[in-house]
A and B are shown apart, each in its own frame.
Chain A
């Protein structure tokens, strides 16, 4: 595990450093898989996205999506092993944020992303769903969602259309 560390990040620490030096063209974070760490990563991401000049509504939608993706990684990819690394990379390309999330946890079941059915909310209050919202939130907000298993890593990529997200309030 330790020996694989540098390969996993693929020189990401150096790249992340370089990006900060050239002035906020992107975001690159690597952190241990954990709920508190996700919270910290989101707070950092929001600050960086604001620094890119992205509007408030789009930043809020981006945080909602990132939270669901990262929580899913922590809950499922690392469900039976307490430790692992998660990496987020965000590139800002005019109106699109290109997001890549990698982790070295277990593969997605069936090597594909879940496709949740829409919830039926026309039920007695006692039967309302308390979970399973994550993937429908993600699929509602992102474009070009992909998943691949690359050796020992999961990689999810998607785009966030900033202009659409700003207008969708």
Chain B
């Protein structure tokens, strides 16, 4: 289970370096995310650009991570591939999350603001 983490200002970017978040790694993913989210400075952006597939257990793990973030902190998603978008749309979770087209745009915005 590979995740890479970068903090830019008070935003923590977590990029999933796996091609799938499925039942085989969902529990491991959920545990890692719990640690990374709990000590995040303010805003968490989960970058899913490398992830070509998630199943409902992967989706459940992402929802679990989001639920650990209390306002005013935020939990956002970026870089959903087509198959991952389908799972979010089918479960209507696309209406629950803030979803950005890609993490780089957010990071560039932060750099400009700074």
> A134 is contacted by which of B56, B67, B86 (Cβ under 8 Å)?
B56
B95 cross-chain contacts in A, Cβ below 8 A: 121
Interface of chain A: mostly helix, strand, loop or mixed:
helix
List B contacts of A156 (CB < 8 A). Answer: none
Residue of A at shortest CB range from B85?
A: A169
B23 x A63 contact (CB < 8 A): no
Question: In the complex, how many residues of chain B place their beta carbon closer than 8 angstroms to a beta carbon of chain A?
Answer: 25
Smallest CB–CB gap between A82 and chain B, Å?
Answer: 15
The residues of B that contact A57 with a CB separation of less than 8 Å are 82, 86
Q: Considering the complex of A and B, which 10 residue pairs feature the smallest CB-CB distances, nearest first?
A: A133-B56, A35-B24, A130-B60, A60-B83, A67-B55, A35-B23, A134-B56, A71-B23, A131-B60, A130-B63
Chain B residues within an 8 Å CB radius of A42: 53
* Assembly CA distance A125 to B66 (angstroms): 8
CB distance from A84 to the nearest CB of B (A): 16
Task: Give Cα distance in the complex from A43 to B66, angstroms.
Answer: 29
Question: B20 contacts which chain A residues (CB < 8 A)?
Answer: 39
